[in-house]
Structure 1
Amino acid sequence: MKQIQYKYRPDNLTISEPNKYKTEDLYSEEMVLNLGPQHPSTHGVLRLEVLTDGEIVADVVSHLGYLHRCFEKHAESLPFNQIIPYVDRMDYVASMNSELAYVMGVEKMLGIDKDLPKRVEYIRVLVAELNRIASHFIAIGTYALDIGAATPFLWLLRDREHILRMLEWLCGARLLYNYIWVGGLFYDLPVGFEERCLEFVNYLKPKLIELQQLVIENHIFINRTANIGVLPLPMAINFGCTGPVLRGSGLKWDLRKVDAYSVYSEIEFDIPVGKGEVGKVGDCWDRNNVRVKECWESLRIIEQCLEKLTKEHKRTKEFDPQALVPKKIRPPKMDFYCRAENPKGELGFFFRTDGRSDVPTRVKARACSFNNLSVLPELSRGGMIADLVAVIGSLDVVMGEVDR
């Protein structure tokens, strides 16, 4: 029997015009399917308009605009210090990291970034790395659930709960913290926090080994993700992808090393990258493997921060985490951009100030999930509909910072 070669739509055909054509003695008809919008948890309220030819994906169009955070316009009507709670609500599973990126930008505009106490800096890095692990646990757990495995999701949420409880002990909130302030912190670490955090590190290490064996090295998981959604490095760079999506394609690019902001220059850690160990470099498996390895590196960073906080920069009665918090934040007239490495990639903030007001004239957020999501059509064309879900989950997008 002669094999049928499927044809895809020509470049001049719009997605709203399904094409019917004849191939040999068979008719093949393209059909438009709507996938989503999904619930705000996991990948957020994202609707995909999928042009299919049978089980083959011919094209995908991502439709945004279901969450309406309106972060940028809110920020242009509030003083700098009151914007922080809105920053929390962009990537709501990595709020500490988002706060750190925003606050560093404002502090650099004010010129106080070099005056911060070391204890403040190490506490910021400590809580940011705890939040990075919690974010990766959501990414890996929901990804396993997307492709049919329920147990890893439950295990990872169980371990993530330890982090959320510590952060709640720290500032009173589980997800939206408002803890990192311009010029300092809301409060010093609670008494006993360092010891409790070290207990968690020792608890989590064997759990990460279990995660590696249960999910990443699982034969079914490998068959489901290897050679699927392959993102070549040149394409990742051209689309502006960052974070594990970019590093999964083999490039060692991490702003914690490149820009060495805060006290990351004083801390030893590695940058995991995709190597194509079970498939091609840049596939869905590589992106998830990078996230698991980054959890190990975050534990290394946390251990070093705890050592610094308990030996060199100890708790004292004289220490005031709000000593440098300005009463009025009024930067000079300028355009300024600051960036940091969030769990999902580069989060940047552009500020425009007039030098007279404590309310910014313009605020623009460079959200990592937005760029990472933009590469979805390129990864999906020619693949199966069943693999489309695997590709979306491997990008780890949160719609709070996409529809901002």
Structure 2
Amino acid sequence: MGTPTTFISLFLILVILCTSTVANGDHPDHAKPSKGIRAAYWPSFNSFPASSIQTSLFTHIYYAFLLPDPATFKLSITSDDQTKLPEFIGSLLNLTPPVKTLFSIGGGGSNATVFSEMASTKQSRQVFINSSIEVARKYGFQGVDLDWEFPANVVDMSNLALLYKQWRNSLDEEAKACGKPRLLLTSAVYYASEFQVYGGPRSYPAGAISKYLDWASPMCFDYHGSWENFTGEHSALYDSKSNISTNYGIRSWIQAGVPAKKLVMGLPLYGKSWRLRDPKVNGVGAAAVGVGPGDDGILLYYQIVELNAQSNATVVFDKQTKSYYSYSGTTWIGYDDVRSVALKVRFAKSLGLGGYFFWALGQDKDWTLSQKASNAWKYGG
């Protein structure tokens, strides 16, 4: 385990930071829009330019991702980040209406062991926290987001609670010392509050999440995929046969004690594909003999729309899961489309959630789903 040899005091970092520099709608005109969080992640490793984001459809945009150095736990700003971070902020500053910006630390491809080691001591947590504040202030972000996928055991979860508390206290102190608005603190989390995959049985620290985070973002997708030999809706709103659904996951968070208004529900802009064993057996749960087209069976929404048109696929709205699937020959794709996105956003509103987020920008088709979700949230359309 790599641990820092010297402790960077919060007082010193505060001194340094305080001196740093920093669409179309289908709604009635008279309707009063509902407030809330309409967020999306911008993958810095993809080619979609931040300058092309339609900010009218969002309130918060995440830069994804930064990673902690495995030896020091300070954020590692790569040469690409050194170029893309100021470009990202600069592009969004020039867009109207304005959005708030956060950067996300971690992601699905990150090393969970590094986060476990970082969170294990007060000293290493503080080095990580100070670095996050320094980067946010240097580049002009309004918040920071943790995407630790995933704390592996009870000890990790206990340390995660300590990290949230220490981080929030540091953000409060830094804002007071600098006379600046406090940085937002958010965290992407598993779709359910309790789980036993990617490790042993454990629960997220609901009390710490409720007290110290501005909001938590359950990732309500990837329920099914290439590891299974049957088709499935990877972002099913409901599932009568299991607890693998957004309805179960979100309600588990509320039951655990996290206020609904502090939950921001994840929506995917991509689908999952399989190769059917029998083209004539093509419903949800049909036998499959491997993945279909895409990157390991993953197709972005705009690719799905184009493939459906090219292959003259049959498109079905699945009433049970409130999702879509299409099939053509042996190709089967499960995904969200306009109707299912609207239903899921209305579900979030009906439970009093704080909002929703998309993974990820650049995957939509002419902003179709982003527009529908925004209208459904703001106007119920």
How would you bin the TM-score normalised by the shorter chain?
Answer: under 0.3
Is the strand fraction higher in 1 or 2? 2
The structure number with the bigger radius of gyration is 1
Is the helix fraction higher in 1 or 2? 1
- Between the two structures, name the one with larger relative contact order (CA 8 Å, sep ≥ 6): 1
